[in-house]
């Protein structure tokens, strides 16, 4: 049985989100707003198909993909840079590589106890987020 990330998750910690946003080139005013947010994630996992909706009072972002199938990602409302994204399983971790203008861009999701973990990477910056079930 693969890991099941399905559910509604609330952010409880967000380490170095500032560094990650600077690496993405997010402007000062937007960063000030974004760092106050407590985003929620709704994840629907159906076999190899994923739906990850990150919502907040400011902006939201919807990502839908299938494991092992590269897709165009537009990052609309985030940094708006297009990239080619590929999500695969690495043991029980869901790993996304986002190939584009920014080096070393991607993210990894995994479960630890009752918590959902997310590492967001861009260039030399790593943001670490933890979510609890709503």
Does the protein bind ligand YOG through residue 58 (CB under 6 A)? yes
Token pair in block for residue 49: 């198909």
**What is d(CA 83, CA 129) in angstroms, rounded to the nearest whole number?**
22
DSSP class of 105? -
Does the protein bind ligand YOG through residue 117 (CB under 6 A)? no
Q: Give min distance, CB of 116 to ligand YOG, in A.
A: 9
Does the protein bind ligand YOG through residue 85 (CB under 6 A)? no
Q: Give min distance, CB of 99 to ligand YOG, in A.
A: 14
Q: Give min distance, CB of 34 to ligand YOG, in A.
A: 4
**What is d(CA 128, CA 118) in angstroms, rounded to the nearest whole number?**
6
Subset of 10-49 contacting ligand YOG (CB under 6 A):
21, 24, 26, 30, 34, 37, 39, 41
Q: Give min distance, CB of 72 to ligand YOG, in A.
A: 14
CA distances from 118 to 27, 29, 112 (A): 23, 24, 11
Region near ligand YOG per CB under 6 A, out of 1-9, 56-64, 84-92: 56-64
């Amino acid at each position: 049985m693969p890991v099941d990330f399905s559910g509604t998750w609330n952010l409880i910690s967000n380490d170095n989100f500032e560094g990650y946003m600077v690496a993405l080139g997010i402007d000062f005013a937007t960063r000030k707003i974004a760092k106050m947010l407590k985003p929620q994630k709704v994840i629907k996992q159906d076999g190899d198909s994923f739906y990850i909706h990150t919502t907040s009072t400011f902006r939201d972002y919807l990502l839908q993909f299938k494991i092992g199938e590269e897709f165009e990602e537009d990052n609309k409302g985030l940094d708006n840079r297009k990239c080619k994204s590929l999500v695969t399983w690495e043991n029980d971790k869901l790993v996304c590589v986002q190939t584009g203008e920014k080096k070393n861009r991607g993210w990894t999701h995994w479960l630890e106890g009752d918590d959902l973990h997310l590492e967001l990477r861009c260039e030399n910056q790593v943001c670490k987020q933890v979510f609890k079930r709503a």
